[in-house]
Amino acid sequence: MISSRICSANVVFIRNAASKIKILNPSADVLPFKGVDAEKKPVTINLKAGKTYSWCACGLSSTQPFCDGTHKKEGFTLNKPVKFQVEKTGEYMLCNCKQTDKRPICDGSHKEISQRPKSADATQFVMFSNSPVYEGVARELGYKHKNGGFQQ
């Protein structure tokens, strides 16, 4: 018989000896997908030893480089913040492009990211159908049939 009990262990992952950073939730650190770049350069910030920080991994936080809970909104992202502590008080360069392989520390990945905005290639595309439901809703919203589609 297989036990249905779930065991949880306090796992601490040390990034590397040089950075002296302890990752407190390794499962958030090893996700295969990266977040949206908040900025294409790192931020230098003074961190205190022993204090727990939550680094935004999704890139959507308004309090970059730290998490503000934006990732919790339904349908937003699967990325979770990387919780970490530093062993030595001092200045650290935290990644803001979210592409680093050494989360939360900058590893220079921002140098490989295109400086061209992703929206530069975006096009406006509107799709409509000749269904009675669509026409009824469009008319109800005040749209008029014009140039093969509905416009306000």
pLDDT of residue 73: 82
Per-domain boundaries in the chain: 10-107, 125-152
Query: Using an 8 Å Cβ cutoff, are 134 and 146 in contact?
Result: no
pLDDT per position as a tens digit, 93-133: 999 999 888 889 999 888 887 766 666 666 655 555 566 55
**pLDDT value for 53:** 96
What distance in Å separates the CA atoms of residue 126 and residue 67, rounded to the nearest whole number?
Answer: 34
- The pTM of the full predicted model, rounded to 2 decimals, is 0.64
**Whether pLDDT at 48 is above 70:** yes
CB atoms closer than 10 angstroms to residue 3: 6
Q: Are strands 21-23 and 43-47 parallel, antiparallel or unpaired?
A: unpaired
Looking at every residue in the chain, the average pLDDT score rounds to 77
pLDDT of residue 123: 60
